[in-house]
Amino acid sequence: MIEIREAVINDLPEITSLFRNTILHINSKHYTENQIAVWASGADNEKKWTARITKNYFIVAEANNTIVGFAYLTQGNYLDGLFVHKDYQRQGIGAKLLRVIESQVIMAGFKEIKSDVSKTALPFFDDYYYEVEKKQMKHLKGEVFENYIIYRTL
């Protein structure tokens, strides 16, 4: 049974651990070792994660009191992150998080949701009728990442 709830600051260690481990184990299929190390190091910035949890619409998916996924919005309709625990992939958790996020965007009065997504995540969003606006190269700590700006009209 998966429960969706808003994140609280006490969730921070589980959220950052899930973020790091998902990147290390799932995204490594599409990115180099150096890219993965740089990306996963984003889990170390507790100040940034604290701000994400406290200032944004940030939800977690729980199974048996363990956080197995999370998603959050910035700017009302920008899906800034959606991650599912490496051991809980392909169980409908990402889809459930996405539905709740999209509902929040609609309730906030927006007609469209946007996101930047990795090569790894693109097929997931394609399954939910997201369109690619453009492919881009993002620079982070000396590494260049190929990703995609996607959107969906709600």
Domain limits, the chain: 3-110
Domain topology for 3-110: Aminopeptidase (3.40.630)
pLDDT in tens, 39-88: 999 999 999 999 999 999 999 999 999 999 999 999 999 999 999 999 99
Residue 38 has phi, psi (to 5 degrees) of -65, -50
CA dihedral defined by 26, 63, 123, 39, rounded to 10 degrees?
-40
State residue 60's pLDDT score: 98
Task: Give the model's confidence band at 29: pLDDT under 50 very low, under 70 low, under 90 confident, else very high.
Answer: confident
Q: What tens digit of pLDDT does each residue of 82-133 get? A: 999 999 999 999 999 999 999 999 999 999 999 999 999 999 999 999 999 9
* Dist. CA 23–CA 145, nearest whole Å: 13
- In this predicted structure, the answer to whether residue 144 has a pLDDT above a threshold of 90 is no
Residue 24's identity, in one-letter code, is L
Q: How far apart are CA 99 and CA 59, in angstroms?
A: 12
Most confident of 27-31, 34-38, 58-62, 145-149: 58-62
Phi, psi of 68 (to 5 degrees): -115, 0
What's residue 143's pLDDT? Answer: 87
More confident residue, 14 or 140: 14
Q: What is the distance between the alpha carbons of residues 15 and 19, in angstroms, rounded to a whole number?
A: 6
Strands (E), 64-142: 66-74, 78-84, 112-118, 131-140
Packing angle of the helix pair 46-55, 12-25 (nearest 10 deg)? 110
